[in-house]
Amino acid sequence: MAPVAISPIKVGKIDDVQELRKAKSKIPERFVRDITERPTLATAALSSSLSSDIPIIDFSKLSKGNKDEVLSELLKLTAACEEWGFFQVINHGIDQSLLEQIEKVSNDFFMLPLAEKQKYPMAPGGVQGYGQAFVFSEDQKLDWCNMFALGVEPKFIRNPKLWPTKPGQFSETVEVYSSKIRKLCKSLLKYIAMTLGLKKDVFKEMFGVAVQALRMNYYPPCPRPDLVLGLSPHSDGSALTVLQERKCSSVGLQILKDNKWVSVQPIPNALVINIGDTIEVLTNGKYKSVEHRAVTHRQKDRLSIVTFYAPSYEIELGPLPELVDENNPCKYRRYNHGEYSKHYVTNKLQGKRTLDFAKIQTNNSNQNPT
């Protein structure tokens, strides 16, 4: 969500997918994926049996448990970060009423008339406002998704003109919700540091005034879910990403596990956490960011609220010295996080390719971290 000065970009016509759904229009060609990119029924059938394997972390045992409970949960968290890069957090301490309120104001915003939503437009090549992010050309394939994204913290990344006046209580709810998620991210990073044998406040001290952004994604039903993607495959540039999914949404999130797409079925009132590129770099590849995507459904819509939590733009990042040795040579160079953020938001979503920015190139394939 870095504030980036971008030269004029021609993105062509970007149809609003909710309007396409209302009009029962034929799916425009820009949304139809190449055959190799399309989700298949076989993929969905295969992944459904695996979704229950995604680790579940009981946050209350980490924060309030006895010594044995804390140790047991830390071992689960270690395995979740090493083997999956994704996990669900239950008993996280955020009131259910607040989760319901952020879902309500998010849904109410997307249900506003198009003209009202377009008062907060996402500029071509931009990442804040209403529209589609990560579009940089007129022939680029589009996602079957409407987005509304806001910079939240620190205050200088906000664009006040993009904070809507409708629905009522929108801004107030985002403020309260974001403060609770921020607190959760700080705590999770403390426990992740402990799983690595590091000082528990290492990330807090390193990150400075952490950057936080919020994106609401709405995926209307699609008449041909086999032809489109709700969101292109990518990893996140953040340290941590927190996803909340509206109850009764279609199952849409899929992660790439052992070269297979695995569907994630969120537990009611749980939050889905994933490791971002920043943690992969800091841990020298011990904990890897994971490629993920969204698929659509023929009858059901889906709403998700996603928070991205990352270091301050001024911070220099690289693998932590404690995680580099003779057996684990340095896989990533040091870089300025603001430069990486700019690189991330000015490139289309394309798997984990943006992380090439940080990799130390080597001819020895055995040292390739991915």
Predicted structure pTM score:
0.91
How confident is the model over 31-50, as a mean pLDDT? 68
pLDDT tens readout for residues 54-99? 899 999 999 999 999 999 999 999 999 999 999 999 999 999 999 9
Q: What is the mean pLDDT of the chain?
A: 89
pLDDT of 41 reads 54
Comparing CA positions, the residue from 212, 186, 211 lying closest to residue 314 is 211
Give the model confidence (pLDDT) of 294-323 as tens digits: 999 999 999 999 999 999 999 999 999 999
* Between residues 11 and 314, the one the model is more confident about: 314
Residue 21 pLDDT class (50, 70, 90 cuts): very high
User: Any idea which of 135-139, 144-148, 235-239 has the lowest mean pLDDT?
Assistant: 135-139
pLDDT tens readout for residues 346-358: 776 777 777 888 8
CA distance 344 to 362: 22
What confidence category does residue 224 fall into, taking pLDDT thresholds of 50, 70 and 90? very high
Residue ranges in the chain assigned as alpha helix (H): 17-23, 41-48, 59-64, 67-79, 96-110, 114-117, 170-195, 202-207, 277-282, 337-345
pLDDT at 10: 81
Residue 46 has pLDDT above 70, yes or no: no
| Longest Cα–Cα distance in the chain | 61
| pLDDT value, residue 87 | 96
Say how many C-beta atoms besides its own lie within 10 A of residue 58's C-beta: 17
The pLDDT of residue 47 is above 90: no
| CA 86 distance to own-chain centroid | 11
Which residues face 368 on adjacent strands? none
How confident is the model at residue 52, as a pLDDT?
Answer: 57
CATH class of 17-358: mainly beta
